[in-house]
Amino acid sequence: DMAAYSAKNAGGDRMSLYSEGMEEFNRARAAMAIDLKTAVRKGQLELLYQPQNETSTRKLKGFEALLRWNHPERGLIMPSEFIPIAESTGLILELGNWVLEQACRQAATWPETYTVAVNVSPMQLAQDTLPLQVAAVLGRTGLSPKRLEIEITESGLISDQHHALKIVQELKDLGVCVTMDDFGTGYSSLATLQAFPFDKIKIDRGFVMSLTSNEQSAAIVKSTILLGSSLRIPVLAEGVETEDQLSFLQEEGCEAVQGYLFGKPLPHAECLKLMRTDPTYFARSTLRKKQA
């Protein structure tokens, strides 16, 4: 019958469109993987820095380093596009090393009160070498370990928990802070929190986004802040965009915030400017002391 015929026909067309689409997608991915191989060497990678502030005082405390790829033909490429490719090709190990080195080198030029947070991917954690690499980078750059935070998502901890725990412990022994990123979005956030000695919890942007419009999100954020305070682990809320969200987080006693309300990820030069206008910037305070 006609309906079945046209449905079948449409289905057939869809199938060929689908496979053409897939082919195109795979071609683009393969091309990207080839370009990504030389991106570090060609100086196409850049770290942007997003402010992290104390909730109660709004004071600037530090920055999260976020990776960008400035592709000569494709323009700016976001991590959601190229990190998965870097992971599946193993290139993430080289990229991750570059990120660590660059973030520590730049942060070492900042006033000592500011911290830098660096994202580490599951494959980096799966190696034995991460703590040694971190120690070497800290030694080379002179950055104090207590100013470095390593952000880990739950997906980096599930494949071999025993190994991951050893790595996390070694990082902590170096004196760096280890943070659980995207809390609440993983497979078993509470079990992960119990198994790993995190120094900080970051509530995922997804919950913060709908905080003032959705009762479930509000309840989850509230409970996470309470959980953090019971466990004596400071909580940071990511993706804070409005004053209403900030008020809620202030009332609930969330320690730190990050989001467009305080600033988008900035190029390093802009991040330096922001620190210079910050009242806690050491140059200003020593200047003021001298003038007094």
Which positions lie near ligand C2E, rule CB under 6 A? 50, 66-67, 78-80, 83, 99, 119-121, 151, 181-182, 205, 238-241, 258-260, 265
Q: For residue 252, state whether it binds Mg ion (rule: CB under 5 A).
A: no
Q: For residue 182, state whether it binds Mg ion (rule: CB under 5 A).
A: yes
Q: Which is nearer to ligand C2E, 12 or 205 (CB)?
A: 205
The item of Mg ion, ligand C2E, none sharing an interface with residue 239, based on CB under 5 to 8 Å by kind, is: ligand C2E
Q: Which is nearer to Mg ion, 9 or 188 (CB)?
A: 188
Q: Which is nearer to Mg ion, 35 or 151 (CB)?
A: 151
- Say if residues 268 and 67 touch (Cβ distance below 8 Å): no
Residue reference for tokens 């952000």 = 151
Q: How far is CA 258 from CA 107, 128, 229, 238, in A?
A: 18, 31, 19, 5
Q: How far apart are CA 37 and CA 275, in angstroms?
A: 34
Nearest residue to 104 via CA among 122, 118, 90: 118
Of all helices (H) and strands (E), which one includes residue 181?
strand 177-183
- Say if residues 36 and 89 touch (Cβ distance below 8 Å): yes
Q: For residue 154, state whether it binds Mg ion (rule: CB under 5 A).
A: no
Q: What tokens appear for 176 in the block?
A: 């760096």
Nearest residue to 125 via CA among 74, 164, 88: 164
Nearest approach, Cβ of 288 to ligand C2E (angstroms)? 32
Number of residues that bind Mg ion (CB under 5 A): 5
**Contacts of 223 by beta carbon, 8 Å cutoff, 6+ apart:** none
Out of 86, 92, 150, 151, point to the residue binding Mg ion (CB under 5 A): 151
Residue reference for tokens 């412990």 = 169
Nearest approach, Cβ of 28 to Mg ion (angstroms)? 24
Nearest approach, Cβ of 68 to ligand C2E (angstroms)? 7
DSSP states along 43-90: T-EEEEEEEEEETTT--EEEEEEEEEEEETTTEEE-HHHHHHHHHHHS
Out of 35, 149, 154, 181, point to the residue binding Mg ion (CB under 5 A): 181
Q: Which is nearer to ligand C2E, 91 or 138 (CB)?
A: 91
Nearest approach, Cβ of 292 to ligand C2E (angstroms)? 38
Nearest approach, Cβ of 185 to ligand C2E (angstroms)? 9
Question: Which stretch in 9-17, 108-116, 118-126, 263-271 sits in contact with Mg ion by CB under 5 A?
Answer: 118-126
Interface ranges with Mg ion (CB under 5 A): 119, 151, 181-182, 238
